[in-house]
Structure 1
Amino acid sequence: MPNCTAAQIDFPAFKRRKIQAQFSGGAITSDGGVLLLRTIDQQLQLTQRIAEQMHDPRDPERIRHPVVDLLRQRVYGLACGYEDLNDHDTLRNDIAFQTAVEKDQALGSRSTLCRFEQRADRGLMWRMHEELLAQFIASYKTPPKSLILDFDATDDPVHGEQQGRFFHGYYRNYCFLPLYVFCGNQCLVSYLRPSNIDGAKHSWAILALLVKRLRQVWPDVQIIFRGDSGFCRHRMLNWCERKGVRYIVGLAKNQRLKRLSQPWIEQARTQYEATQQKQRVFTDLHYKAGTWRCRRRVILKAEHMSQGSNPRYVVTNLAGEAQTLYEQVYCARGEMENRIKEQQLDLFADRTSCSLWWPNQFRLLLSTLAYTLIEALRRIALNHTELAQATCATIRLKLFKIGAVVIRNTRRIRLLLSSHYPFQSLFRSVCQRLCPD
């Protein structure tokens, strides 16, 4: 006969009392806050709209897990910290997750979820990005005067024989090279690319598509393209100038730039030697690279510190004082790198371990959907609270990871949250903002 008794775990005794544990508590969840994800998702209709764009080749008479349920299960799982399909073999029986997905039975198994991911194709990726952009547009109640589109690439290390993985000399490993586009804290594009390409490849086409769509909705909006020196390409700058798009982009050092900037570099060095404190001198240069069709404004930051001289250059067609543009506009792009870290580290965008290409692109976008839900929660319900600037990992820890007893019957579903949960007032405030009625 099988042994149905749960294995007992013994801990060191306390005041002559035995300390024992078993995984036999029944309907208890460690993710009592997952219903916040369901609530914000209902407001945005994010997973519902994307599920409507997904083709399902299965026999309708035999479907137990509709596409929308599988999508929600996967996205909510990522938001709550479950990155692997293996996690869902047990998570599928969690009543809190079942309630969030709006099911009264076990959710999809890892095999079902795996088959779900394998159906991804190019058309679905295009439609998912269209919905991300639609969500961004809907987040504005009034037309914005100005939008800054941040472009950046990052490495996504891989450890198998995935399609499209190559060795990258700069990152010194086999990886993908996804391209991200953010506007503020909102992600507009998460585009998986092989790593044997120029880091700016396809960015021009993506910028053109974004500008076209945004100007359809807001004809008078000023659009600013911002990126590091990896995106300084003369054809892109030419296109921006023709289309009335502003830009502020890093510019790599070269000998001509160093000769032009030598007086200010010497000035910073002299000031440092006199004060022994880091010095920065800002000025404008007018520079034309060999591939450029005209001279352009280049901002120089001539910096000198204990490690020596560190000049930096930015090319821009924005009006304004050089130091202000550099420090307050260009350097602000560093916030985008924090948003990428949230997706890579907190929401597992780098779990691209499928052997085929499109399922890996789909996984990258699933992470982006989880980020979109948490970012909307942060923007709508956490504004002016202690978590207004919190990362996804902090929001997960403080709002989603709540121990609760779940009671479900034919009349109601009750979550008895931990009496000693330390953020009860914050949780109530979030619920009131999401459900004002």
Structure 2
Amino acid sequence: MSFKELYLKKRLAAEDAIRVVRNGDTIVLPTGPAEPVRLMTALSEQRRSFFDVKVAQILPLKKYDYVDPATSEHIRHIAYFFGPASRPGGQEGWNDYLPAYFSELPVLIARGLTPADVVFTLASPMDEHGYFSLGLAADYTMAAIERARAVVIETNPNVPFVHGDCHVHVSQVAAIVEGEDPIPEVGLPKIGPVQEAIGKYVADMIPDGATLQIGYGAIPDAVVMQLTNKRDLGVHTEMLGDGIMTLIEAGVVTNRRKNYHHGKTLATFALGSKKLYEFMHRNPGLEIHPSDFTNDPYFAGQNDNLIAINATMQVDLIGQCGSESLGFTPISGTGGQSDFVRAANRSNGGKAIIVLPSTAKEDSISRIVPTLSPGTHVSTSKNDVNYVVTEFGVAELRGKTAKQRAEALINIAHPDFRHELREAARKMRLL
């Protein structure tokens, strides 16, 4: 049977393809932009015909009807990382959360420590060799495909065919659904004077020839905007966005001085504009790989001068970062922050940089605090944090004593809060 005949044999309507799901199954979905719209719409419409089905995913972008407390006994969400669609349910308690480093999610799935019975994923159209590309997100999905009882592909001509370890053969697939819905796009965030000031400090710390890990947000984009005078930067990152694409197009990112995967931009998922997705299509300088490769501190850390730039919400005076919750209220998830902080610490000449505005709520709250708010999840430990940057400067913590750390962090706090931070530090015997 030819690949085309096999394809036609497996082609189904979405409402028929979802019948591969059994009661009690866990369905694994890829990162947000690779959500299969027609499959998830059909599943949502028929959710009351299932019982105790779980949908596990990082960063869902669209709120499908199954995300509903009234029908959570039928289908409920398990977040590897909360996104806009799943965050309210996580905060109210009817969605669940799986804490894990992004680098280890494929390992947890491969070892059967977290279930993956069925995979639903968006993919490119099949090529002449019978392969689909999961070019928008390989993440943990490739591991789930190896483990799952059934894999359902939703093809979409808007999905780029990308190089790397992100390909699935038609023989591995139980059903194929065809769609052509637009891929979710995320625009560039608004950059203000605070973000611009932080970006300037960070940009000054990045030498020519460095390899970057940089994510989405106003501060990372402020950094990117100030790198146009750099030369021969490389990229080994988690998320590929429009900022990195602009640096590649400007000739700033060449990957020529990378000593690990020389000449290649590496990521595990993409999130940006339609232009970005078109830029990725069959681009020989770009590869998408699973997160146990891109995010593994050992692999990423083999790049010399790896600069990891990650944001947090709070830093306490000993250097602990609370990046995923406000107290016990979940906001996001563990993700890859600690992965890349550790990778940069391993790297010869590497720098792990944590960025945050010094205040929140119109300067009424300091983000540098004596201790993290009660119940806050510690995302990156005091033993791993190296540089912390606000709009008031840079604090280098690695190798410093507790007293030196407190002094350095107070010096980059907002001036309005430095006195009370010093008083708190004295009470804590840190000064």
TM-score under structure 1 length normalisation: 0.26
**1 or 2 for the larger relative contact order (CA 8 Å, sep ≥6)?**
1
Pick the structure with greater CA Rg.
1
- Whose helix proportion is higher, 1 or 2? 1
